[in-house]
Structure 1
Amino acid sequence: TTTTKAEETTTVQPTTKPDVDTTGKNVKKGGYVKKNVSAYNLKLEEVTEVEKGVRYYVYKECNNGYSLIKVGNQELLVETKYITYKCNAKKIVNTSDKKYSYSDMKVDLKKLEKAYGSILKVDIAGKSLDKRNLYYVTLGNAKAKKTVYVETSVHAREYMNTKFMMKVIEDYCRGYDTKKYKGKKYSTIFNNVKLVIMPMVNPDGVTISQYGPKKIRNAKLRENLYKIAGGVDFKIWKANARGIDINRNYAEGFDRGDAKIPGHKQYAGKTPISEPETKAQVSVVEKVKPDVVICYHQAGEVMYHLNHTKLSNMLYSMTHYTHIISGQTHYGTFSDYLDARNILNCTLETGLTPAPVKNSMYKKIYKTNKDVLVSVAKMYL
């Protein structure tokens, strides 16, 4: 039996639904869903579920009762009635935690990236001697042409700056679509000037300062720490897990410090850039090519910089930390490395001495510095 062309034409059925009309009002900002709901493709076939407390980029509110949003690498539809433009993510960083350990930070980074993955990316620049990840965070538009780089907790006992910085990261994410700084929306600032932040450069050292060598997993490193400590209270430890001060390990002015053997501070090591933490910082700086760098240390409420600049004057107006001109002599510090490459930088020493700073200082440190990074980023718009 044969079939005519006319019969063939009448028996063919469409196998897919036609695309729905997605015309409507442009939104182009971050949004959240009021509860976990289904997301659909342009044929209104269910593809996945989107979660409350996760920021999604919303392209438009369509005339058909749906909104077009970005989910991963897909553009999908969600019923508009479930969209809200106010952040409804749960707060993550616990600032009442007196120590705020590497483990706390690691857990929080994962949660922050889940909630704000459209504007926050977490990467690993390497591993410490005791195999802890050396994390860095990119906040804002990863393709932005301007970059502010930030480091904290290079020195182990200065770990309160990690807690403060993690809270700032969360604040900026929560307010990304709704808050302004001096008339400019966070989204406008960070879409054009990204922040790249290394919130704990020296996680082994922080662990030693907080818990002593007992939390160092590598037996050889742990045994050696007891040998090189020289009776020093581990709470005031500044170095990494083999007694090398990361902020003396750069080539510029290498081995100019006082310490000639491994210990809790100021020993530069046998060769420049020998430590994984130093190498990680260099690799990130070479990758992102920052326009400006802010280094957070403790303590003393002072600020170090090579010369008076628009940046240092602005930071003084915000913090009232005492200016200290660092001068041309190099000591193997990260700032020396940056100065040698003509990268503008400033070091802010938060809190009152001695370090580790008393936890009662946290609120003042946070209040004084919470707008520093958004202010620096705004300078480069």
Structure 2
Amino acid sequence: MQMQFKYLTMLTQISEWFNIPIFALEIINPNPITARGICKIPGYIRDSYTVKKFDSIDGLARKCGVRPEAILLLNQMEQEILREGETIEIPWQVKSSIVNPHFGYDHSRVEQDIQTLYEMYSMFQVRVIGESEQGRSITEITIGNGPLHVHLNASFHGNEWVTTNVVMQFVQDYVHAIATGGHLYGIPAETLYTECTLSVVPMVNPDGVEIAQYGPHDEERPVYRSMLLHEGVTFQDWKANARGVDLNNQFPTNWEIEKNRKWAKIPAYRDYPGAAPLTEKEAIVMQKLVEEKQFHRVVALHTQGKEFYWGYEGIEPKESALLAARFERASGYKAVQMIDSHAGFKDWFIATYEKPGFTIELGEGVNPLPIEQFESIYRDVIGILVEAIRPL
């Protein structure tokens, strides 16, 4: 919510009047000492209200959970006199969820919710870092200003779209905790914000997610049906991007091994590594993001298995084992150092930068996991996400 101020007003006063931590106000208002003109108030919306008989500023303020000065400021009123029937604006703190994790995210909804969260809280930066093979935007969210730089992503695979639900819920919980002086997994949100700069890509493979959820467009259906290859396979099983390439087999680290042993030798709904490394737009976007930001750690969310992979060919640093122990304690997920897999995002990051990288396999069952698992998945994994953005 934005407010117009006629007079010089201290952010400390606004903090007290709206019951918002001064830290949260300073994040989104460029002048950390005073507000003059426009000031952003995180986590609030303004609503029209028709004054009823016996209403008072004090009574409305108590109902809204703010000080009377907040209502006076919002309406540019100098006296606490209300007239029955007049319309004023009152501030409501947002308590309902913007993110609805009980419905699968597609590309349009994730973009809409990112924008709504930004308008509501303004505590993160948003930018488009590239586009998919079918021209859908790939968006990065950045939260925090700490020296530790961490990257988190979801939906590398189309039929693992529930990972986007987890990431979006985490982003909402994080910014709400900042705005209200709250905690995440027992850690003050302000502490996390000042310790870590977190990069989040909620949907790496928007085309694959669309195909897995809705199937291809009618005119494309014959082409995509030919990529299913196996009897009984449906579009819900689609892991690949729009060109039938598995994005998590697209990275240069021992790509030839995966190429030679994967069953798919042509574009398919899963397991085709492509004609060469880094041929797909989405994989190139992720490579360039890592090269630009030089992250200290990366975490990729996948499904399923209730385990996570933290090593690669013995190249991983000692820090990886320490973080893996933290993740295991926080989640109950099994820590697996080595698996026989190459050319993945995590593999490439560890091999290229010799820094910690993790693949987290959320939930249990058969992909796509039912959305009914969301609550238990999120309850298990939030500890990992918080530990990932904490210094050792």
- Note whether the superposition's TM-score is higher than 0.5: yes
The answer on whether the counterparts of 2:102 and 2:374 sit within 8 Å (CA) in structure 1 is: no
- Deviation, structure 1 residue 116: 1.8
The residue aligned with 1:194 is 197
The answer on whether the counterparts of 1:157 and 1:235 sit within 8 Å (CA) in structure 2 is: yes
Q: Which has the larger radius of gyration?
A: 1
1:205 aligns with 2:208: yes
The answer on whether the counterparts of 1:52 and 1:89 sit within 8 Å (CA) in structure 2 is: no
TM-score scaled by length of structure 2: 0.74
Distance 1:295 1:87, change over 3 A: farther
The residue aligned with 1:335 is 346
Distance 1:224 1:208, change over 3 A: same
Between 173-182 and 331-340, report the one with greater CA deviation: 173-182
Distance 1:166 1:24, change over 3 A: closer
Distance 1:133 1:89, change over 3 A: farther
The partner residue of 1:346 within 358, 362, 371 is 358
Q: Find the residue that maps to 2:374 and give its secondary structure.
A: helix
Name the aligned partner's letter for residue 320 of structure 1.
G
1:179 aligns with 2:182: yes
1:287 aligns with 2:292: yes
The partner residue of 2:384 within 361, 372, 381 is 372
Distance 1:324 1:83 in 2: 53
Name the aligned partner's letter for residue 162 of structure 2.
M
Distance 1:21 1:140 in 2: 26
The residue aligned with 2:57 is none
Name the aligned partner's letter for residue 254 of structure 2.
G
- Deviation, structure 1 residue 89: 5.8
Distance 1:286 1:83, change over 3 A: farther
Q: Find the residue that maps to 1:284 and give its secondary structure.
A: helix
The answer on whether the counterparts of 1:54 and 1:89 sit within 8 Å (CA) in structure 2 is: no
Distance 1:103 1:21 in 2: 39
The answer on whether the counterparts of 2:24 and 2:42 sit within 8 Å (CA) in structure 1 is: no
The partner residue of 2:164 within 140, 162, 165 is 162
Distance 1:225 1:288 in 2: 35
The residue aligned with 1:12 is none
Name the one with the larger strand percent. 1
The answer on whether the counterparts of 1:311 and 1:376 sit within 8 Å (CA) in structure 2 is: yes
1:273 aligns with 2:272: no
The partner residue of 2:24 within 3, 26, 30 is 30
Name the one with the larger helix percent. 2
Runs (5+) with no aligned partner, structure 2? 1-5, 16-21, 27-33, 46-68, 71-75, 81-88
The partner residue of 1:153 within 131, 152, 155 is 155
Distance 1:247 1:269 in 2: 11
Runs (5+) with no aligned partner, structure 1? 1-17, 33-39, 56-64, 67-76
The residue aligned with 1:214 is 217
Identity %: 25
- Deviation, structure 1 residue 127: 0.7
- Deviation, structure 1 residue 196: 0.6
Q: Find the residue that maps to 1:370 and give its secondary structure.
A: helix
RMSD over aligned Cα, in angstroms? 3.3
Q: What is the correspondence of 1:251-262 to structure 2 with a 5 Å cutoff?
A: 251-257=252-258, 258=262, 259-262=264-267
Between 301-310 and 239-248, report the one with greater CA deviation: 301-310
The residue aligned with 1:114 is 119
Q: Find the residue that maps to 1:300 and give its secondary structure.
A: coil
